[in-house]
Structure 1
Amino acid sequence: MELRGTTILAVKDDHGVAMAGDGQVTFGQNIALKHTARKVRRLYKDRILAGFAGATADAFTLFERFEAKLEQFGGNITRASVELAKEWRMDKYLRRLEAMLVVADAQTVLILSGTGDVIEPDDGLVGIGSGGPFALAAARALRRETALSAEEVARKAMAIAAEMCVYTNEHVTLEKIEK
């Protein structure tokens, strides 16, 4: 599934996690409809961050399902993610959803996809959406060559992605959770 029209980046460090998302909503391949969308939000008593790439209505369906799983499993992000991924893969309706999620608490960052993937990155960095690879590459370089905080890495990497990806803009929503 090729997801266009967004960039979500999560950066984990020793102090917690920062998650950033751009604000551009596109229609097709050549029309920007909105510039200030919020694609990153707080869930489960403000202890979990979630960001989406893909179809907006599909993402909101996934947010609702994920939040229900978080309630069911007492905020355990890993268990809720695995259960959502299983349901997502097996349910005939959910399988048609065209979105991906990045979810995080203060210790864990995960990517969730409709193919049943629940992936925790080795380095605590995740980028999804059309600008995800650009933001991820910038974040890795910043992490290796600077002593910036997770929040600063996320902001600078998103700015670099916005310079390179036509589906990413500079209106960034950034949320963070500290340990």
Structure 2
Amino acid sequence: MTDQLGAPSMHATTIVLVRKGGKTVIAGDGQVSLGQTIIKGNARKVRRLGKGEVIIGFAGATADAFTLSERLEAKLEQYSGQLLRACVELAKDWRTDRYLRRLEAMMLVADKNAALVLTGTGDVLEPEPSAEGVVMGIGSGGNYALAAARALIDTDLDAETIARRALRIAADICVYTNSNIVVETIDSL
């Protein structure tokens, strides 16, 4: 697979979010691939922002994702930790700013109140929760992890166990996903 200039495309990370039983977990694998080569196996694309009250996971070009997470952190400070407002303002900038428009990444973000997907097309999406909880997935193996998490959400497993199992299942299917899993957890309402 190549990009528009004929260079190998970068495939980076699978991220899954599970919200269940008063906990929200974002988990991600660590693989970054360039074409058919694994460049790095232990990238950390799950982290905390906003004085530790917000967790994010990002997929896509690493430098772009770091740029967006820094911008989100600034928006969180500007809007007193209001995650939804900060995400909407970031999405507006991302969509309208010539520089930001070229960034290729997606993010899952969560605090105690909300769980959201942010995209470069200006989307700030809050999934419709089921009776059991909320699951979301992004990245190279995101659909595999999402399917696995959906299958596990109505079991007795807790949010972290579901997220870890979903990523391991994705790693067994997607060649751009590995089992080097990083997890961040916060309490949720």
TM range (shorter): over 0.9
**Structure 1 runs of 4+ off > 2 angstroms?**
1-5
User: Is 1:4 matched with 2:11?
Assistant: yes
Aligned 1:14-25 pairs, distance under 5 A: 14-25=21-32
Once the two structures are TM-superposed, the CA of residue 25 in structure 1 deviates from its matched residue by 1.1
**Partner of residue 151 from structure 2, selected from 141, 147, 150:** 141
Q: Give the TM-score normalised by the residue count of structure 1.
A: 0.95
Matches of 1:7 and 1:107, distance apart in 2: 23
Cα shift readout 1:93-143 (whole Å, capped 9, x = no counterpart): 000001111110123110001110000111321100010000000000001
Q: Give the TM-score normalised by the residue count of structure 2.
A: 0.90
In structure 1, the partner of 2:139 is 129
User: Is 1:72 matched with 2:78?
Assistant: yes
**Partner of residue 185 from structure 2, selected from 164, 176, 179:** 176
Give SS of 2:161's match: helix
Give SS of 1:45's match: helix
Q: What residue identity is the alignment partner of 1:115? A: T
Matched pairs, number: 177
Give SS of 1:134's match: helix
CA contact (8 A) 2:10 2:32 kept: no
Matches of 1:118 and 1:41, distance apart in 2: 19
Give SS of 1:93's match: helix
Matches of 2:46 and 2:177, distance apart in 1: 14
Once the two structures are TM-superposed, the CA of residue 3 in structure 1 deviates from its matched residue by 7.6
CA contact (8 A) 1:17 1:107 kept: no
- Kindly report the root-mean-square deviation, in angstroms, between the aligned alpha carbons of the 2 structures: 1.4
Matches of 1:140 and 1:88, distance apart in 2: 30
Q: What residue identity is the alignment partner of 1:175? A: E
**Partner of residue 41 from structure 1, selected from 26, 47, 62:** 47
The structure whose Rg is larger is 2
Q: What residue identity is the alignment partner of 1:62? A: L
Identity %: 57
